[in-house]
A and B are shown apart, each in its own frame.
Chain A
Amino acid sequence: MLPYAMDTDLSSQDRKDLDKFIKFFALKTVQVIVQARLGEKICTRSSSSPTGSDWFNLAIKDIPEVTHEAKKALAGQLPAVGRSMCVEISLKTSEGDSMELEIWCLEMNEKCDKEIKVSYTVYNRLSLLLKSLLAITRVTPAYRLSRKQGHEYVILYRIYFGEVQLSGLGEGFQTVRVGTVGTPVGTITLSCAYRINLAFMSTRQFERTPPIMGIIIDHFVDRPYPSSSPMHPCNYRAGEDNGAVYPSVEDSQEVCTTSFSTSPPSQLSSSRLSYQPAALGVGSADMGYPVLFAGGLNAAHPHQLLGPGKEGGVPPVPSQPAHGTQADQERMCTPLDGVHYSAATPSSSEDTETVSNSSEGKSGSPHDLLETIFIRKVGAFVNKPINQVNPPDSPETESPLQGSLHSEGSSGSSTGNTHDDFVMIDFKPAFSKDDILPMDLGTFYREFQNPPQLSSLSIDIGAQSMAEDLDSLPEKLAVHEKNVKEFDAFVETLQ
């Protein structure tokens, strides 16, 4: 029984509908907030036909991890008087300092609107409120901070249920109200309290630090907040759960078929929303993982470059393997930073090409997308000709990884066990054909990834002293003077 005000006027069907709306509204609210802090632009498509899985007629993708965390926090309850759902957004630097930036609160108060139609007006107003939330999440200061997250700091989120805790926001925080929706059981209010004193940030000089690996490891590490729910980075990692850790939550797969009725001149008799359990594979909780941020080529933080790429940005890099050690991860990351980015152009079209190239006609299943990730990642290590010249700093790339790669042995296809560290696969760049010419796109990629050092940067030249340079000047000048007619002719052609 939910502790709502006594309302004998509300039919049981309306009550059920209302509870459902509030629950999914809470889940979608969390999705919008966390996705707005991922650090990248979000884009979803409009669809003229109702898909049946888009709550509130808005295309808001569901990140399963986020849904899972939200449901864990709610624990089967709904926001009610004195029990609010809060999403806390904070910032954590590479040095370990952290600061709360915002608290988004979904609250319920006692003010009831008995006359309002649940499955029409309340639903549409909740939809409007979500749109307002989309707009407001872009105008608080944390948005701009989240767009720049990367090497120096990351943005984390935490969901909790209960009393709102604003003390971490510092003095003089500001509040913005996103909106309210009256219902027969109370008024839903959505608001944000945000810090305005970012003095911590402005006076601090962020130095170039190595990737902050130890700080945001993942769920498997004990949390430093014993009394509260764990913090999570606002970036999604596909590798650690492999789609299996979070049970696909039954009701997120519930199809919301909205069907409204019109009544001529005088308005509406209420309509019914029908819920049908989705057929397998139809629900919204499948594959729509937004890709993570592309914070620039130098900002390679492996934890933030994860997840199957779908909408632009840097091609995905998988998380640390589930059984890998941290040392291996560190070794893994450095060469990848250089190797991976130089090979791949950050374009979403390339992602999709690779997916379609590698997936053998299957699309959209987690297995295939992870295969894609492996292909992209190991491209540099596979099928290297023995006589290829490697630049001096490349030996790191041939460390234990190469050994483990060759020992896997299979080529041409990935193994089915995606929990292994790496598998050896032929590098198949999109639209390339191996059989026609020896110099194909794949070869080009490989050579391009490991170019020989510039001769002018080699040690011999660098060792020349300034005096020697000056000595050789008169000779050079004489040569140039001899060729002055050629230079003049050239200049003439330019005019």
Chain B
Amino acid sequence: MVGPGWTRRRAPPGAAPTMNCRAEVLEVSVEGRQVEEAMLAVLHTVLLHRSTGKFHYKKEGTYSIGTVGTQDVDCDFIDFAYVRVSSEELDRALRKAVGEFKDALRSSGSDGMGQISLEFYQKKKSRWPFSDECIPWELWTIKVNVVNLANEQERQICREKVGEKLCEKIINIVEVMNRHEYLPKMPTQSEVDNVFDTSLKDVQPYLYKISYQITDSLGTSVTTTMRRLIKDTLAL
């Protein structure tokens, strides 16, 4: 049986979708009821670093930035707490995606393996008839393995172990963030929607999309469900 825990490895260069896209992969083994909280902890921590206040453009080509609030979240099934951006809209969007991923994992069968990806991208306008291009610049992938535990004692150990591993993962995420590698340039007013998600009313994350896929026991991708959570799709 695979015990609870996380590992992290850098994706090999060839695996990145484009040459400039930074890709990080995290692996995790958790109990079924911990999936949601573990995913939210990681996604929120990444988005905390990839969200700014709302931009307010002024006349002379200057802009000011709103304020990002933060709040502590305690996990119920893991001995862990994390900080997220104070934005109910953002939280709802992440919970929706993670909820779908969890349901897909559950219905996939006893093995319960899958991965959820958070991709940050820029839009590049193309001329008609071509549609806008989405160019990813950072990709976070969390591979999940759901374990089944036999008794309460194991569950208690799992609570603590997964909590410890999540702490390590937060440290790893912060380490990547503070390398100050590529970030999209700050856009002009006309370009802001190509870089940031301006649909939220209180904060402004970089444009992102969340997708997931479930694998069967053979390791092949039986169900590939791509769910795009972009502003336009939510509006439909």
Genuine A/B complex: yes
Q: Which residues of A contact B (CB under 8 A)?
A: 41-51, 54, 57-59, 120, 125, 128-129, 131-132, 134-136, 138-140, 143-144, 147, 176-181, 257-264, 267-268, 271
Report 8 cross-chain contacts, Cβ distance below 8 Å, ordered by A residue.
Answer: A43-B71, A50-B56, A57-B52, A120-B186, A135-B83, A138-B170, A259-B63, A260-B62
Complex-state Cα separation, A147 to B65, whole angstroms: 33
Q: Is B45 an interface residue (CB 8 A)?
A: yes
Assess whether B66 is in contact with A48, with CB atoms less than 8 Å apart. Answer: yes
Q: Give the residues in chain A near B185, CB-CB below 8 Å.
A: 267-268
Count chain B CB atoms within 10 A of each CB in A45, A131, A179, A257 and give the residue with the most: A131
Assess whether B170 is in contact with A47, with CB atoms less than 8 Å apart. Answer: no
Knowing A57-B53, A134-B48, A179-B177, the reply to whether A262 touches B65 (Cβ < 8 A) is: no
Q: Give the residues in chain A near B152, CB-CB below 8 Å.
A: none
Assess whether A259 is in contact with B62, with CB atoms less than 8 Å apart. Answer: yes
Complex-state Cα separation, A51 to B177, whole angstroms: 26
Name 18 extra pairs, CB < 8 A, besides A47-B69, A50-B64, A179-B174: A41-B72, A46-B66, A48-B54, A50-B56, A51-B67, A57-B53, A59-B68, A128-B180, A132-B49, A132-B177, A135-B48, A136-B170, A144-B79, A147-B81, A260-B64, A261-B62, A267-B185, A271-B62
Q: Give the residues in chain B near A177, CB-CB below 8 Å.
A: 175, 178
Knowing A46-B69, A260-B65, A262-B61, the reply to whether A178 touches B178 (Cβ < 8 A) is: yes
Q: Is B201 an interface residue (CB 8 A)?
A: yes
**Interface bracket on B:** 35 or more
Assess whether B170 is in contact with A57, with CB atoms less than 8 Å apart. Answer: no
Taking the nearest CB of chain B, how far is it from the CB of A102, in angstroms? Answer: 14
Taking the nearest CB of chain B, how far is it from the CB of A189, in angstroms? Answer: 10
Question: Which of B49, B71, B173 is A44 in contact with, Cβ under 8 Å?
Answer: B71
Knowing A138-B72, A259-B58, A263-B61, the reply to whether A50 touches B66 (Cβ < 8 A) is: yes
Q: Is B215 an interface residue (CB 8 A)?
A: no
Assess whether A138 is in contact with B83, with CB atoms less than 8 Å apart. Answer: yes
Complex-state Cα separation, A144 to B160, whole angstroms: 12
Question: Which of A41, A48, A131, A260 is B186 in contact with, Cβ under 8 Å?
Answer: A260
Q: Which residue of A lies closest to B64 (CB)?
A: A50
Taking the nearest CB of chain B, how far is it from the CB of A398, in angstroms? Answer: 41
Question: Which of A48, A128, A178 is B202 in contact with, Cβ under 8 Å?
Answer: A48
Q: Is B217 an interface residue (CB 8 A)?
A: no
Assess whether A43 is in contact with B202, with CB atoms less than 8 Å apart. Answer: no
Q: Give the residues in chain A near B64, CB-CB below 8 Å.
A: 50, 257-260
Q: Give the residues in chain B near A178, CB-CB below 8 Å.
A: 174, 178
Taking the nearest CB of chain B, how far is it from the CB of A294, in angstroms? Answer: 14
Assess whether B58 is in contact with A59, with CB atoms less than 8 Å apart. Answer: no
Q: Is B225 an interface residue (CB 8 A)?
A: no
Count chain B CB atoms within 10 A of each CB in A47, A129, A147, A271 and give the residue with the most: A47
Assess whether B74 is in contact with A135, with CB atoms less than 8 Å apart. Answer: no
Total number of residue pairs linking A and B with CB closer than 8 Å: 151
Complex-state Cα separation, A136 to B83, whole angstroms: 9
Assess whether B178 is in contact with A261, with CB atoms less than 8 Å apart. Answer: no
Complex-state Cα separation, A132 to B171, whole angstroms: 9
Assess whether A135 is in contact with B45, with CB atoms less than 8 Å apart. Answer: yes
Majority secondary structure of chain B interface residues (helix, strand, loop or mixed): mixed
Knowing A41-B71, A58-B70, the reply to whether A136 touches B65 (Cβ < 8 A) is: no
**Top 9 A-B pairs, shortest CB-CB distance:** A179-B178, A41-B72, A139-B167, A44-B69, A43-B71, A59-B69, A46-B202, A46-B69, A48-B54
Q: Give the residues in chain A near B170, CB-CB below 8 Å.
A: 135-136, 138-139
Q: Give the residues in chain A near B69, CB-CB below 8 Å.
A: 43-47, 58-59
Knowing A47-B53, A262-B62, the reply to whether A59 touches B70 (Cβ < 8 A) is: yes
Assess whether A44 is in contact with B86, with CB atoms less than 8 Å apart. Answer: yes
Q: Which residue of A lies closest to B52 (CB)?
A: A57
Count chain A CB atoms within 10 A of each CB in B45, B66, B166, B177 and give the residue with the most: B66
Q: Give the residues in chain A near B83, CB-CB below 8 Å.
A: 134-135, 138
Type the 1/0 row for B178-204, where 1 means its CB is closer than 8 Å to any CB of A.
Answer: 101000011111000000000001110
Complex-state Cα separation, A45 to B201, whole angstroms: 12
Q: Is B35 an interface residue (CB 8 A)?
A: no
Q: Give the residues in chain B near A143, CB-CB below 8 Å.
A: 81
Assess whether A132 is in contact with B53, with CB atoms less than 8 Å apart. Answer: no
Taking the nearest CB of chain B, how far is it from the CB of A59, in angstroms? Answer: 4
Q: Which residue of B lies closest to A55 (CB)?
A: B67
Complex-state Cα separation, A262 to B185, whole angstroms: 9
B71-86 contacts to A (CB < 8 Å): 71-72, 74, 79, 81-83, 85-86
Q: Which residue of B lies closest to A271 (CB)?
A: B62
Assess whether A46 is in contact with B63, with CB atoms less than 8 Å apart. Answer: no
Q: Is B87 an interface residue (CB 8 A)?
A: yes
Complex-state Cα separation, A42 to B52, whole angstroms: 19
Question: Which of B68, B81, B171, B177 is A58 in contact with, Cβ under 8 Å?
Answer: B68
Count chain A CB atoms within 10 A of each CB in B49, B69, B174, B177 and give the residue with the most: B174
Q: Is B60 an interface residue (CB 8 A)?
A: yes
B144-170 contacts to A (CB < 8 Å): 166-167, 170
Type the 1/0 row for B77-99, where 1 means its CB is closer than 8 Å to any CB of A.
Answer: 00101110111000000000000
Type the 1/0 row for B10-24, where 1 means its CB is closer than 8 Å to any CB of A.
Answer: 000000000000000
Assess whether A47 is in contact with B72, with CB atoms less than 8 Å apart. Answer: no
Q: Give the residues in chain B near A54, CB-CB below 8 Å.
A: 67
Q: Which residue of B lies closest to A41 (CB)?
A: B72
Q: Give the residues in chain B near A128, CB-CB below 8 Å.
A: 49, 177-178, 180
Q: Give the residues in chain A near B60, CB-CB below 8 Å.
A: 261
Assess whether A48 is in contact with B167, with CB atoms less than 8 Å apart. Answer: no
Complex-state Cα separation, A278 to B186, whole angstroms: 29
Taking the nearest CB of chain A, how far is it from the CB of B144, in angstroms? Answer: 20
Assess whether B67 is in contact with A125, with CB atoms less than 8 Å apart. Answer: no
